[in-house]
Chains A and B, each alone.
Chain A
Amino acid sequence: MSKKVLVVDDDPDVRLFSVTVLEENGYTPLEAEDGEIGLKMIKAEKPDLVILDVLMPRQSGVRLYRELKTSKALKDVKVIILSGIAKKTFLRSQKALTEFGGAEIPEPGIYLEKPVEPDELAEVIKKVLG
């Protein structure tokens, strides 16, 4: 059975791009348009990988990533961040949340800044999923 990959991004064009890359490489894509829907889908569908945007309505990727990494049941879900927000900003925001009393969480393994080429994305997904 092909591996399930959830794309969480509010931009339909980016979702379409990622879904196309996933389908062409034999994965089963799932889509969510914001962090809240994304979290529900992660719990319900248990994807093998989440491709996560940062700046989104309702719940950002910063908070969703934090929720995943502090949840016993979800902390092992693999995540690739794909965003226009710089990696250093993402790391600083997590640091600020930790300083405000949040738990310390690991850095994302892969952080891609938009835009990304289809081959680059496919290669990274392959590397993460093995």
Chain B
Amino acid sequence: MEIKKLLFVTKFEELGFDALRSLLNLRNSALEHVVFVNVIERDRVAMRRGKGYEKEEEIRLREAANIRFIDWAENLFEQGMEVGCYIVVGGLVPEVIKATQKEDADLIVIGRSHKGVLEHLYSGSDVTELLRRAWTPVLVYKHLSETAISVEEPFERPLLAIDWSPGSLRAVEYIKALKNTVQEVHLVYVADEKTLKGPSAMGIQKTRKEARNKLGKICGSFEAVGIKAREHVYIGDPDEEIEKAAKDCQATMIVLGSSAKTAWVEKFLGSTPRKIAEESIYPTLLIPPEKSEE
């Protein structure tokens, strides 16, 4: 569960070297290898009306990416890190999945997508599609300039949202493996109002007590490896309450387990992890369950 190798997926405008720099404290844990990925979307170079394939444009885009990556790579090489890069023409999600498998990466870092509302409505976002298809943890990075919070190092103080799913329990082990990077972890369970044990104050308190006890055990396992941990129970809509909890705890990122719901199920039922990944102001780390658990 260590993060030895991360894939840094960038189109440059949404994710720059400053973002990567903020993740380099993962070296205190196990990070030793960074792989840059730039995917030149096929529609930027291929099959333009009356032009066919624009080879010259492809070369221009490749070289622009290559020059940027060389500059970044030099910085990392000089720190003794291992660096690789992919500059490919194709679809973002399939190419990222391909590179992840080829490199056997432990973490994919990607920026929040900036598709228009209509485009998003019809085709969904690249981030959502990647989260649906990847079996590797994905960190959706959010920029300082986009947020009012100051996130110097996202892995410093994560808020881990637990819903007892295989993904969220795997996230516990994932964070434990980062004990030399994570300073403090806040665990939150959000009890949906529908699942409360009756509408009375007693019922609510009972739910809270049970959840706190369960969270307390996980906190104990964090403390055992040297990570300070605190448990919290919130009541309400998970999408909103997780965000509130992150603010209350001054978290530096939100961590959630994800599942591999199909596109149509998500369209009708929604998905808290993906909604938070897309909409939260916090960097969001999504941990999928083991393939066999899905």
Q: Which residues of A contact B (CB under 8 A)?
A: 10, 34, 54-60, 62-63, 84-86, 89-90, 92-93, 96-97, 99-100
Contacts and interface: CB of A to CB of B under 8 A. Distances in A.
Contacts of A97: 80
Most chain A CB atoms below 10 A, which of B70, B73, B77, B99: B77
- List 9 A-B pairs, minimum CB-CB distance, nearest first: A96-B80, A93-B77, A89-B74, A92-B78, A57-B84, A84-B70, A55-B73, A97-B80, A100-B80
Given A92-B77, A93-B77, A84 B82 contact: no
Contacts, number: 54
B83 A60 contact: yes
B86 interface: yes
A85 B74 contact: yes
A35 to B, nearest CB: 8
B5 to A, nearest CB: 10
B77 A63 contact: no
Contacts of A92: 77-78
Given A55-B70, A58-B102, A84-B66, A99 B84 contact: no
Contacts of A84: 66-67, 70
Nearest to A89: B74
B103 interface: yes
Contact of B82 (A63, A85, A86): A63
B147 to A, nearest CB: 32
B77 A89 contact: yes
A57 B102 contact: yes
B240 to A, nearest CB: 41
Given A57-B85, A58-B102, A58-B103, A86 B80 contact: no
Given A57-B86, A92-B77, A93-B78, 4 more contacts: A62-B82, A62-B83, A84-B66, A93-B77
B151 interface: no
Judged by DSSP, the binding face of B is helix
Nearest to B70: A84
Interface residues of B, number: 19
B120 to A, nearest CB: 31
A44 B86 CA distance: 26
B59 to A, nearest CB: 9
A90 B70 CA distance: 12
A34 B83 CA distance: 12
A63 B32 CA distance: 12
B35 interface: yes
Nearest to B66: A84
Given A55-B69, A55-B85, A56-B84, A86 B79 contact: no
Contacts of B85: 10, 55-57
Nearest to B74: A89
Contact of A55 (B79, B80, B84): B84
B140 to A, nearest CB: 23
Nearest to A86: B74
A59 B249 CA distance: 40
Interface in B229-261: none
Nearest to B73: A55
A93 B80 contact: yes
B69 A99 contact: no
Contacts of B73: 55, 85
Contacts of A90: 77
Contacts of B80: 93, 96-97, 99-100
B26 to A, nearest CB: 16
Most chain A CB atoms below 10 A, which of B67, B73, B86: B73
Interface in B75-93: 77-80, 82-86
A84 B80 CA distance: 18
22 contacts: A54-B77, A55-B73, A55-B85, A56-B84, A57-B84, A57-B99, A58-B102, A59-B82, A62-B77, A62-B82, A62-B83, A84-B66, A84-B70, A85-B73, A85-B77, A86-B74, A89-B77, A90-B77, A93-B78, A93-B80, A96-B78, A97-B80
